[in-house]
């Protein structure tokens, strides 16, 4: 080996062994996949203006305005308003997501043209709707792997009638057409692609081939002249690249556990946390080799659990107000607020706020010696 090739070999090893950092792509991408990831990041990070289609109602000017901390694709400070009305007395159709009145997401910003036309600063929730849910911005790192988990794997964890009597049921949400849901805090949206495409319209008012029409202002169409850009405001390629970026984002690699964190993992198991926060899910067949038959340390079953009346807000699809999807703990160390509404400022507080089906695990956590509780939290902070 020449000196030069030795240097190259050493450099190559250093690069190949470099720790994967949050925001990096999955390992093992082809050059073409990597190129799509890089171009997709640009679309995800772009700032839309009214001239190119922003609004007239929007929550932020682009995906990267919210999913940005500490890296593109991660968490954000933005908190949204979602609303829906639960009619438990109507079997079959108990959840009204207020689609005809601008729901379920009520945007918090308007373009200057809409402000001038209507004199509003944000979209009003219909009068009489009392339950307004707060939704913090979660990270989407590793979510391509969650999308690649076969339905059968998720359904195998479901136990809607708690036949095993462990106090934990876990039931699937289903989209309006019956498909299994898994994305969003209430697990309503079946595929990552649909969530990504929908987000352009819902979050930024950017119409596209999947969601070709603008929403409404609390049910009324936008006044003439307030939406000058022709539909669709983003083309198929922009959607595909954004989806490639989100899909190919690697899950944050867990930190090397300290001895305390290793003890904490045992405490996590002993407290019954894995009954919902399933440590590892396996993906199925997939056209992308980096997503095919991989293990993902997701710490979720992607199912709904009743977390108690105190945590309840809105219904969503089959999810009742108190049911939420087990939040993946993958990437937890990057979060600065916890639970769907950001109510918990620390992982300990999040555990303390587990009620309903989560109460037993919470009580087991509370009963641990202080050192074991600290160890469990140290473990969570490696994820």
Q: In terms of CB distance, is 223 or 257 closer to ligand HEC?
A: 257
**358 sits near ligand HEC (criterion: CB under 6 A):** yes
**379 sits near ligand HEC (criterion: CB under 6 A):** no
Q: Which stretch binds ligand HEC (CB under 6 A): 10-18, 152-160, 225-233, 345-353?
A: 345-353
Smallest separation, CB 160 to ligand HEC (Å): 13
**277 sits near ligand HEC (criterion: CB under 6 A):** yes
Could you give the CA distance from residue 196 to residue 60 in angstroms, rounded to a whole number?
15
**67 sits near ligand HEC (criterion: CB under 6 A):** yes
Q: Which of 381, 362, 354, 372 is nearest to 266 (CA)?
A: 372
Q: Which of 24, 324, 372, 383 binds ligand HEC (CB under 6 A)?
A: 324
Distance of CA 336 to the CA centre of its chain: 15
**63 sits near ligand HEC (criterion: CB under 6 A):** yes
Task: State the binding string over 284-323 for ligand HEC (x if CB under 6 A, else -).
Answer: ---------------------x-x---x------------
**140 sits near ligand HEC (criterion: CB under 6 A):** yes
Contact 267, 288 (CB under 8 A): no
Smallest separation, CB 182 to ligand HEC (Å): 7
Determine how many CB atoms are found less than 10 A away from the CB of residue 130.
8
Contact 263, 373 (CB under 8 A): no
**173 sits near ligand HEC (criterion: CB under 6 A):** no
**373 sits near ligand HEC (criterion: CB under 6 A):** no
Distance of CA 145 to the CA centre of its chain: 13
**78 sits near ligand HEC (criterion: CB under 6 A):** yes
Structure tokens, 245: 């970026």
Contact 97, 103 (CB under 8 A): yes
Could you give the CA distance from residue 241 to residue 96 in angstroms, rounded to a whole number?
33
Q: Which of 32, 39, 77 is nearest to 243 (CA)?
A: 39
Could you give the CA distance from residue 107 to residue 123 in angstroms, rounded to a whole number?
5
**57 sits near ligand HEC (criterion: CB under 6 A):** no
Smallest separation, CB 3 to ligand HEC (Å): 47
Mention every residue, 6+ apart, whose C-beta is less than 8 A from residue 258.
378, 382
Distance of CA 294 to the CA centre of its chain: 20
Q: In terms of CB distance, is 7 or 266 closer to ligand HEC?
A: 266
Q: Which of 121, 138, 128, 140 is nearest to 58 (CA)?
A: 121
By CB atoms closer than 10 A (0-12, 13-18, 19+), residue 100 is exposed
Structure tokens, 29: 């991408």
**59 sits near ligand HEC (criterion: CB under 6 A):** yes
User: With contacts defined by CB under 6 A, how many residues of the chain interact with ligand HEC?
Assistant: 54
**First and final C-alpha spacing in the chain:** 41
Q: In terms of CB distance, is 59 or 101 closer to ligand HEC?
A: 59
**351 sits near ligand HEC (criterion: CB under 6 A):** yes
Between residue 195 and residue 234, which ones bind ligand HEC under the rule CB under 6 A?
Answer: 195-196, 199-200, 203-204
**242 sits near ligand HEC (criterion: CB under 6 A):** yes
Footprint on this chain of ligand HEC (rule: CB under 6 A): 59-60, 63, 65-67, 78, 80, 135, 137-138, 140, 143, 168, 183-185, 192, 195-196, 199-200, 203-204, 242, 246, 268, 271-273, 275-277, 305, 307, 311, 324, 326-327, 332, 335, 338-340, 347, 350-351, 354, 357-358, 361, 365, 376, 380
């Amino acid at each position: 080996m020449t000196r030069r090739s030795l240097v190259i070999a050493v450099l190559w090893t250093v690069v190949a062994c470099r720790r994967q950092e949050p925001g990096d792509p999955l390992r093992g991408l082809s050059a073409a996949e990597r190129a799509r990831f890089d171009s997709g990041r640009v679309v995800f990070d772009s700032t839309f203006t009214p001239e190119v289609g922003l609004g007239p109602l929007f929550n932020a000017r682009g995906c990267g305005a919210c999913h940005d901390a500490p890296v593109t694709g991660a968490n954000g400070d933005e908190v949204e308003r979602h609303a829906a009305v639960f009619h438990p007395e109507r079997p079959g159709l108990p959840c009204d997501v207020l689609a005809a009145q601008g729901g379920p997401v009520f945007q918090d910003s308007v373009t200057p043209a809409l402000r001038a036309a209507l004199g509003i600063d944000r979209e009003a929730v219909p009068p009489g709707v009392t339950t307004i849910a707060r939704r913090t911005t979660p990270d989407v790192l590793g979510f391509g792997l969650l999308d690649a988990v076969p339905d059968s794997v998720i359904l195998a964890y479901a136990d809607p009638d708690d036949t095993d009597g462990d106090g934990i049921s876990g039931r699937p949400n289903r989209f309006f057409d019956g498909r299994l849901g898994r994305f969003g805090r209430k697990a309503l949206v079946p595929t990552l692609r649909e969530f990504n495409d929908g987000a352009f319209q819902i979050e930024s008012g950017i119409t596209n081939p999947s969601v070709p029409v603008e929403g409404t202002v609390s049910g009324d169409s936008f006044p003439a002249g307030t939406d000058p850009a022709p539909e669709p405001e983003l083309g198929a390629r922009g959607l595909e690249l954004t989806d490639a970026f989100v899909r190919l984002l690697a899950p944050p690699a867990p930190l090397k556990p300290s001895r305390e964190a290793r003890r904490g993992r045992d405490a996590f198991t002993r407290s019954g946390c894995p009954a919902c926060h399933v440590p590892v899910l396996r993906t199925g067949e997939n056209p992308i080799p980096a997503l095919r038959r991989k293990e993902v340390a997701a710490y979720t079953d992607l199912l709904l659990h009743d977390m108690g009346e105190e945590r309840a807000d809105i219904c969503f699809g089959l999810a009742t107000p108190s049911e939420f999807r087990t939040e993946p703990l993958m990437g937890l160390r990057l979060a600065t607020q916890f639970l769907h509404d950001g109510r918990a400022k620390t992982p300990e507080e999040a555990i303390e706020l587990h009620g309903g089906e989560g109460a037993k695990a919470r009580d087991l956590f509370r009963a641990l010696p202080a050192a074991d509780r600290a160890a469990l939290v140290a473990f969570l902070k490696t994820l």
